[in-house]
């Protein structure tokens, strides 16, 4: 090795010891932007700046690579906040997977001792419990498995649930919760940090029992039900146009476009149930049955009958806020059955929202545009009327005052759902988000889609004229139902 090569080797080791990202690259991994977000959170955990971390990412996003394979080895090369060697307790949904992670970390420590400045102890090196030459300890266990030995400084849980069957089992969820409270947490020191990294499967999974009941997918500092504060990073596989920890502003942007192209994820969404997509990929599981709206009420259609009348319902949000403005377009057939034909959400300007509504009206010759009467609509009304004249697109506008709370206003549309009179498309990019809001209503953190549907329900209670006589052929549904 030349002197220059030796210098570069030393510099690379210094970078790897200071930075988890640099260590990952020395190991042959190139972090994407969602990995860098995870790395930053893990480094702050190592420095003691935070002690509770939840990260939710979809399958195939390499969260285990950085959390369970790279981070523990790098962590044990860092000085701990208490100045003593690290004691790491790493868990996953089965003992077999936990041991696989342990072998990966142990092998990296054994094979490259100079990279992080320590090696593997010869005295204690079993896969279930091994130590380093500087006195750190690493133990692993499966979720629901008894944990013995000394208490840990870091408790790491990587995907406590292996699949849908276990996630849907109330018995399994109770066992996992009991293990977390009575085994896992009791094997940690009072000052220990906890990192829970997982794909969501069920509203009542381990994360769901820790988070507050009104948590609705947001990232940030969240107070748990027991009063503890957690840093939560929830990353959707496809952005939805709302607040996003990766800064994605447009819908249907991939979490990892270099590996998971947008088109591939859109196809994955089309091939999955809305419930599974919303939970596993968007990290927003909805209740199995629902409360105000029941899952069994959510009918499906393959085509909208010809001759329907179309109604547009809107729920407006203040521009620039976290809430979205929503337009729901509903087709009503001769039997008064409703078909949710299209749905638009946006966080942009009022002008963008008006044009989106007029696009729907122009394509369908909508019979009525329904809005909530109030200060927000009074500010929008004049602009909307002027834009209608500019575009030569006209539609009667009806407004209804919200004189009761959200549940009372939504009773009319709830009644139609309960009678099987509201049909949802078999496939649409917004379907998972809508189902999630319906099934969580009224306890969910966001209900703008439900509010827009409720406006249509209020109006249809007053409609006495029958639908138009059916003409022409049926319309095939989908998110591109009305192409530009």
Is the model's pLDDT at 482 over the cut of 60?
no
Which of the pair, 123 or 322, is modelled with greater confidence? 123
pLDDT reported for residue 481: 42
Helix 448-460 to helix 411-418 angle (10° resolution) is 80
Sequence-distant (≥ 6) Cβ neighbours of residue 283 within 8 angstroms: 56, 57, 58, 199, 200, 217, 234, 235, 236
Q: Which residues lie below 8 Å from residue 464, measured CB to CB, with a gap of 6+?
A: none
Q: What is the pTM of this model?
A: 0.73
Mean pLDDT of the chain: 89
Q: Please check the confidence at residue 291 and state whether its pLDDT lies above 80.
A: no
> Residue 228 in 3-state DSSP?
coil
Could you give the domains of the chain? 16-281 (3.40.50), 295-460 (3.30.420.240)
- Write the CB contacts of 399 (distance below 8 Å, at least 6 apart in sequence): 370, 371, 372, 373, 377
In this predicted structure, the answer to whether residue 135 has a pLDDT above a threshold of 70 is yes
Average pLDDT of 399-424?
88
**Mean predicted confidence (pLDDT) in 189-205:** 93
pLDDT in tens, 357-398: 999 999 999 999 999 999 999 999 999 999 999 999 999 999
Give 73-110 as a DSSP string: HHHTTSPPTTSS--EEEEEESSHHHHHHHHHHHHHHHH
Q: What is the pLDDT of residues 249-265, one digit of tens each?
A: 888 999 999 999 999 99
Give 77's pLDDT tier (boundaries 50, 70, 90): very high
Higher pLDDT, 110 or 480: 110
pLDDT at 474: 45
- The answer, yes or no, to whether residue 288 has pLDDT greater than 80, is no
Q: Number of helices and strands (H, E) in the chain?
A: 18, 18
CA distance 209 to 187: 20
DSSP string, 347-410: -S-HHHHHHHHHHHHHHHT-SEEEEEESHHHHHHHHHHHHHHHHHT----EEEEE--S-HHHHT
Structural Rg of the chain based on CA atoms: 27
Is the model's pLDDT at 131 over the cut of 60?
A: yes
Please check the confidence at residue 462 and state whether its pLDDT lies above 70. Answer: yes
């Amino acid at each position: 090795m030349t002197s220059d090569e030796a210098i570069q080797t030393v510099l690379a080791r210094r970078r790897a010891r200071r930075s988890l990202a640099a260590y990952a690259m020395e190991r042959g991994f190139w972090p994407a932007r969602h990995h860098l977000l995870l790395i930053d959170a893990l480094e702050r955990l190592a420095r003691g700046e935070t002690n509770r971390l939840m990260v939710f990412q979809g399958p195939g996003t390499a969260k285990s690579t950085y959390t369970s394979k790279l981070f523990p080895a790098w962590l044990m090369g860092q000085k701990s906040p208490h100045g003593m060697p690290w004691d790491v307790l790493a868990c996953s949904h089965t003992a077999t997977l936990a041991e696989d992670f342990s072998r990966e970390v142990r092998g990296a420590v054994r094979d490259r001792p100079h990279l992080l400045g320590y090696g593997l102890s010869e005295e204690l090196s079993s896969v279930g419990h091994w130590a380093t030459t500087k006195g750190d300890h690493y133990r692993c266990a499966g979720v629901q498995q008894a944990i013995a030995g000394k208490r840990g400084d870091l408790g790491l849980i990587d995907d406590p649930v292996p699949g849908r069957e276990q996630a849907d089992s109330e018995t399994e969820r109770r066992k996992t919760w009991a293990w977390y409270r009575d085994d896992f947490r009791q094997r940690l020191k009072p000052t220990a940090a906890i990192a829970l990294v997982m794909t969501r499967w069920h509203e009542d999974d381990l994360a769901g029992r820790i988070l507050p009941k009104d948590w609705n997918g947001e990232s940030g500092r969240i107070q748990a039900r027991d009063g503890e504060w957690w840093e939560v990073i929830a990353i959707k596989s496809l952005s939805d146009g709302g607040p996003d920890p990766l800064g994605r502003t447009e819908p249907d942007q991939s979490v990892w476009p270099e590996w998971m192209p947008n088109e591939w994820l859109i196809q994955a969404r089309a091939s999955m149930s809305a419930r599974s997509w919303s939970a596993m990929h968007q990290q927003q599981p909805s209740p199995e049955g629902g409360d105000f709206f029941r899952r069994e009420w959510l009918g499906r259609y393959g085509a909208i009958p010809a001759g329907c009348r179309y109604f547009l319902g809107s729920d407006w949000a203040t521009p620039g806020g976290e809430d979205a403005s929503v337009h729901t377009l509903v087709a009503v057939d001769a039997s008064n059955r409703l078909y949710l034909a299209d749905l638009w959400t946006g966080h942009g300007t009022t002008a963008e929202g008006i044009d989106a509504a007029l696009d729907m009206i122009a394509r369908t010759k909508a019979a009525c545009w329904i809005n909530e009467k109030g200060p927000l609509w009074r500010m929008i009304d004049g602009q909307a009327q002027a834009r209608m004249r500019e575009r030569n697109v006209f539609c009667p506008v009806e407004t209804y005052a919200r004189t009761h709370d959200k549940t009372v206003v939504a009773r009319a549309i709830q009644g139609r759902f309960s009678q099987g009179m509201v049909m949802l498309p078999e496939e649409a990019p917004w379907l998972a988000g809508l189902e999630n809001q319906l099934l969580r209503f009224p306890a969910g953190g966001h209900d703008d889609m439900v509010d827009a549907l409720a406006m249509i329900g209020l109006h249809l209670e007053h409609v006495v004229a029958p639908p138009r006589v059916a003409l022409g052929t049926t319309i095939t549904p989908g998110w591109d139902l009305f192409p530009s």
